[in-house]
Amino acid sequence: MQISTWVLLPMLVAHFLLFLTPTFPKYISIPFTAIFLLFGIASTWYGYVTTTTDSMDEKLYENLTGKPHKNVLKRRADKEFRRRRRKLMKEKEEEERRQKATEDKPQTITTASSSAVEVTDPKHSPKYEDGDEESNFSDNRGNRAVDSAIGSTLKEGDSQRKEDDTLGMTTSNDSSDEKWNDSVLRSNQNKKDEDSDSEEDEEEDVKYCWVCQTEVHLNSMHCKYCDKCVSNFDHHCMWLNTCIGSENYKTFCYTVIYLVFFSATHALALLLYIILYFTKKCGVKDNSDFSWLVGSSSACSPMVTMIINLVFFVFLLAVCSMVFQLLLFHMDLQSKSLTTYQFIIKDNQDKRERKVFKSRVAERRKLELMRVRNRRRQLQLQNQRTNKDDEEVEVEEAGCGLQLEEIQIQMGEYKLCKPCDPIRQTVTDETAAQAMTGEARNGSSNNI
């Protein structure tokens, strides 16, 4: 299968470059060819990466090589980095606490006035004399002017001090909010790191593989084709001849995505060729004789090119449908958090349950039909023995009801009548009741 994969891909590329690119005009040929080659290169690259990436179980790898797996080393490095970061954060928090404690200590605040105003008592002034009234009046007027100047200065100082206090309170509130947010972020980060470290420190669930003769992770499975245990086993891809696991599942999905675009581009180009060929537009039919390659118009019949392109078109429609279906399948698995292997196991279990359910319904239907028919026979015998008219009417009505019930039970076998089948509904209710009883017993046993 792997050989056919690496043969089909170059064959499709060669067909596009030989039978489609030369036949289209340049304004159609160049964009289509560029997009087609881009998707082809991307799908080839991701397919190659998928085949060369090994998804071997980590414990099996350590057992075979004697050294830890690269993922184990990476997890250890991440764990050490988180521990160092947590240690640095704690040291930073302690330093901030110490700085805050030193800032909160009482300090002696000394205030000095920027401008000192000396006020002298006019009575003790050396210039003051008792007999000089004019000098007294002038001195009093000068003192009042000085007093008014001092009052205005004090008012301005009080208003400035209030503004400074308000601004300081706002700044301190903003800085305290920022510090609180930083502390909350650091505490959340530390909590996340501690949770991740505690999860890693817990013992991992393991199981013993009798083929590999070693312990492996619980989600690993042994592949019989690769003869090794694969971590988070999804499936063994026959087209790439490799196991798809936790290491290469992402690249496998990219391979499928680009294959869808690759095949869709090819099919769209073929559809456009067929339309332009039969409508005789853009010179597609004239360019289908390979005259551009040989130099003569009789090199090849355009009908031969058309037949080849039709065959490839049908083939590519099938390829597009299968690859697109595979892509939708894996998208559905990712939405349900399932692997392909888990889906197969679950699907087989559902099939077994459906088979058991159908057998129970069929058996119950037989019993119900036997019960109804026996009841009808008893009513017929009772009708033959009785001679009263009223009793005959009651027996006939009961017989009609049983006949309708028998028809309803028989009609329940058909698919269209499944929603109104009484037997199926009865068995469903019984199954649900048994499941609830089993869960209750398991819960009580676990509590004990």
Q: Report the distance separating Cα 337 and Cα 322, nearest Å.
A: 22
- In sequence order, the 6+-apart residues with CB closer than 8 A to the CB of 40 are 9, 12, 13, 262
Please report which confidence band the pLDDT of residue 388 belongs to, taking 50, 70 and 90 as the band edges. low
If phi > 0 it is left, if psi is from -120 to 50 it is alpha, else beta; for residue 121 that is beta
What pLDDT, on the 0 to 100 scale, is given for residue 38?
96
- Count other C-beta atoms under 10 Å from residue 324's C-beta: 15
Please report which confidence band the pLDDT of residue 419 belongs to, taking 50, 70 and 90 as the band edges. confident
Please report which confidence band the pLDDT of residue 137 belongs to, taking 50, 70 and 90 as the band edges. very low
Give yes or no for residue 249 having a pLDDT over 90: yes
What pLDDT, on the 0 to 100 scale, is given for residue 291?
65
Give yes or no for residue 345 having a pLDDT over 90: yes
What is the reported pTM? 0.66
Strands (E), 129-273: 206-209, 214-217, 221-223, 228-230, 235-237, 242-244
Please report which confidence band the pLDDT of residue 35 belongs to, taking 50, 70 and 90 as the band edges. very high
Question: Tens of pLDDT along 109-130?
Answer: 444 444 444 444 444 444 444 4
Question: Taking a C-beta distance cutoff of 8 angstroms, is the pair 72, 62 a contact?
Answer: yes
Least confident of 118-127, 314-323, 330-339: 118-127
The pair phi, psi for residue 121, each rounded to 5°, is -75, 125
* Closest listed residue to residue 9, CA positions, set 261, 263, 241: 263
What pLDDT, on the 0 to 100 scale, is given for residue 118?
43
What pLDDT, on the 0 to 100 scale, is given for residue 156?
57
- Count other C-beta atoms under 10 Å from residue 16's C-beta: 21
Please report which confidence band the pLDDT of residue 344 belongs to, taking 50, 70 and 90 as the band edges. very high
Average pLDDT, the chain: 77
What pLDDT, on the 0 to 100 scale, is given for residue 352?
92
